[in-house]
Amino acid sequence: MHQTSNAGDILKATELLARERGLARVSTIRLNLAAWADLDPDEVRDEVLHAAQGTLAEGARIEIEVIDPHGRCADCGADFDPKTAALRCLACGSVRVRLEQDRQVTVASVE
């Protein structure tokens, strides 16, 4: 199984954050990977490095942290930690689940 992390979107978010902070260049990108997405951090790093070529983030160091966002079931209200991308409430099996982090990868910060 291979999932794409959509490096282009990550770069867009990175450039937005950099502009907000008035950075001319990005030296570090910190990414949060959702544990349920089951992505390979090394692959994500490679994809982002590749996508960063020719942008203000070219050559940036990429720090990746795998986080475990909580999910909450919209049907029974149970809180749980989703472990896979096949999101289901662990209590009642409902697929109407809301996540604290609903994207596979988010940009936590840039420097």
| 6 is a contact residue toward Zn ion (CB under 5 A) | no
Stretch that binds Zn ion, among 10-18, 22-30, 56-64, 76-84 (CB under 5 A): 76-84
| 90 is a contact residue toward Zn ion (CB under 5 A) | no
| 74 is a contact residue toward Zn ion (CB under 5 A) | no
CB-nearer residue toward Zn ion: 49 or 78: 78
3-class SS at 17? Answer: helix
Greatest alpha-carbon span in the chain: 49
| 78 is a contact residue toward Zn ion (CB under 5 A) | yes
Alpha helices in the chain (DSSP H): 7-20, 41-51
Let me know: does 29 contact 105? Beta carbons within 8 Å: no
Question: Which residues are at the interface with Zn ion (CB under 5 A)?
Answer: 73, 75-76, 78, 89, 91-92, 94
